[in-house]
Amino acid sequence: MKPLYVIKIGGNVIDNSENLYYFLKDFTAIEGYKILVHGGGKIATQIGESMGIESKLVDGRRITDIETLRVVTMVYAGLINKNIVAQLQRFGSNAIGLTGADGDFIRAKKRPVKTIDYGFVGDLDEGSVNAGNISRLVEADFIPAFCALTHDGDGQMLNTNADTIASALAVALSQYYETTLVYCFEKKGVLQDINDDDSLIHDINPKRYDELKKHEIIHSGMLPKMDNAFAAIANGVRAVIIGKSDEINKLKQQQPFGTRLTQ
């Protein structure tokens, strides 16, 4: 099987034009098959507020009413996605900017209302990703750049968590490729001490993860990301790397960086 990287970037890269420039330059230098996934919540919030549309968040999750959906569709699929694609073309990456609706690549289900109505938010399941169609795109030497939007197959766009999209893509494509999922964020990786950047934990397997949770070294906001990562590994992904975006060039050099999660 050929290797494939699914790389997710967040606000710390997207919100800073200099960070984005160097990241996309390093991303282009990585050889072989790759897919980029991005969010853009902070910019969507800023533009929404400039239009008089206030963001509503519950436990860090965005409530997506119809006005907010219009904003995130414009910002994620338009402003951010096309800027990223234009920059990638500049560096020689033949990128194609996508939502889940394009090519029916990612079909989600609207999140059911329980205690909170999240609005037009999409949840993914096993059959959400059309891996065969995405593989054809990758084999044709395109580099897919997915934003955090999916569709329901019935004409409705849905706002969907970018971490979840990246994980679902890596799992679905693991039937065709040896997939590695890379989450880029502002820290060097998973840290023993959140206030000490040099306390990086280089490798974590499920047993070590249980120990780190038990001693509350990993807690709160990091838990969903880690749970997602180990679920991806259990479902065919070779490894998950959590690390800093400015170290992505180490993938080309085949040097370790960040925290590597494996079975």
Residue 168 contacts residue 235 (beta carbons within 8 Å): no
pTM: 0.95
**Residue pLDDT, tens place only, 87-130:** 999 999 999 999 999 999 999 999 999 999 999 999 999 999 99
Of the candidates 156, 151, 33, the one whose C-alpha atom is nearest the C-alpha of residue 99 is 151
Q: Binding site: which residues?
A: 40-41, 62, 159
Rounded to the nearest 10 degrees, the angle between the axes of helix 131-139 and helix 162-173 is 80
Domain holding 206, by residue range, is 3-261
* DSSP-assigned letters across all residues of 190-219: SBSSTT-TT-B--EE-HHHHHHHHHTTSS-
What confidence score (pLDDT) does residue 222 get? 80
Q: Binding site for substrate: which residues?
A: 40-41, 62, 159
**Residue pLDDT, tens place only, 210-232:** 999 888 888 777 887 888 899 99
CATH number of the domain to which 22 belongs: 3.40.1160.10
